[in-house]
Amino acid sequence: MVELRPGSVFGDYRIERVLGGGGMGTVYAARHPRLPRVDALKVLSAEHGDDVEFRTRFAREADLTARLNHPNIVAVHDRGVAEGRLWIAMQLIDGTDAAALLRRGALAPERALRIVEQAASGLDEAHRAGVVHRDVKPANLLVESRAGQPDRVLVTDFGIGRGAGGTVLTATGTVLATLAYAAPEQLAAGAVDARTDVYALGCTLYELLTGAKPFPRPSAVAVMHAHLMDPPPRPTDLNPALPQAMDDVIARALAKRPEHRYRSCGALAGAAAAALGMDEPVVQRYGGSAGGNHDRTAVASAGRGVPGRRGLIVAMVLSVAVLGTVVAVAISSHRASGGGTAATATTGATSSVADPASPWGGYSYIAQAFPALLPSAPESAGYQSIHCAALDSDSRPADIGVPATGSNLLSCGGNKNPVYLLTVRCNADRSAMDASELDAKATSVGDQAWRRGSASGQVRWGDMPSPAGDPAGTVAVSFDDAAHRFCRLVAYGGTSGQDLFDRWWQDAPI
């Protein structure tokens, strides 16, 4: 990505310095062409200039934020196109964000509550305007510290926000979210509404109070599974000084079913205040954002790109495609089209060769092992309309343009008729994969050997709850034939293990 140089002119703005950068673009401190001020100027990277999805998301950020007029929502001053690149201008001030504050550990409960209450005020205003943020997290809560006054908090980064009721899908059918704070309905590609932001704000409150994310797990898949299946954590386990009532607040905010959560972010903040014995709203006690005409500003940070300076943070999060940032869950970076070749079993290789003839690149060995089950390309649909994307050996979004090594995964979302999640894990060196075991939360229903043509192995199925808590099932498939023994499959869905076995496994094209 080519950065603009200090002193150069871009869109009539004179660039002064780089403030930060990431996957989508770079943010600069830039002098306004006609007014005596310096703005934060976010410029979409040239490499994404022709990507319709990136351009649409970038433009939506300005459109949505400009519609919102609230002292706890960052303001956008202008947007445009210069030299073929999109830009957004925001006012900047000295400040930091809640994620930077967390680098020093958990916050004092009263300060955490101040941040959450003001964020809730801004989010509820967005919801009243019909906008769901969809990516609430500490890094998107800007904090301005003022001498002798309480923190001022502004919500930023509406780049993946949309109207309530729809899902946020990429062109490949994958879900945009920040995994550490993503609600179950986001991960299951379901409809989202204000309660999706309640869930994420609950995750944020938990982290502010404990210094830890609610579901710390070793891989992206494990984090997703925890959001979908595991009970909400108790903040008192990590911070015993908190009142036990806070456990109940977090449990309700992080309920798997949206209807079991608080109906608004303000209701969550009010419950947290009551649990902490601070029933009077902090924003009122401290003269915060409950009303009045504040000078709404975006905060820009050199702290993300220029070490050693007092924290200034950009009003939008720029990094993509890593765990803990905005990611397309298991999004593929390879967008070529074309077909694969027939699967062949080989042994002794140390890695999977990136196949330039296949849209799956280095992951073509997985797709080719199950050509009738898996989609022929990241943009395509497979059996029963599943869409898949690649994760590497650490279960992070993978670059399929390079050879795959170790154990790799295609993670596939289904249409819930009956599969809502299918994982296909294979060893790149074609070494035999351990037998698939049922999920630890599943109750075993059946276990039998199977054979279909030249393919054979073992299948196990059992009952376990769905992400929403409804009855569902899982099926685990392992292989002992040479063409597939380096892979294993696990499916989730249906109304029970037997239902999933009958409606998916019996006819699955293996």
Active site residues: 135
38: Cα separation from own chain's centroid: 32
Q: Are 378 and 345 in contact (CB under 8 A)?
A: no
**CA nearest to 156, candidates 171, 177, 142:** 142
Bridge partners (DSSP) of residue 152 are: 144
What phi and psi, each to the nearest 5 degrees, are found at residue 201?
A: -70, -35
What phi and psi, each to the nearest 5 degrees, are found at residue 423?
A: -115, 135
Cα torsion 436, 442, 448, 453: sign: negative
Q: How many Cα neighbours within 13 Å face the side chain of 71?
A: 15
Q: How many helices (H) and strands (E) does the chain have?
A: 12, 22
3 state SS of 51: coil
Per-residue tokens: 455: 């393919």
Distance CA 314, CA 312 (A): 7
Q: Which amino acid is located at 430 in the chain?
A: R
**CA nearest to 211, candidates 106, 115, 139:** 106
Q: Are 414 and 373 in contact (CB under 8 A)?
A: no
Distance CA 238, CA 453 (A): 53
- Rg of the chain over CA atoms, in angstroms? 24
Q: Are 491 and 505 in contact (CB under 8 A)?
A: yes
Per-residue tokens: 77: 């001053």
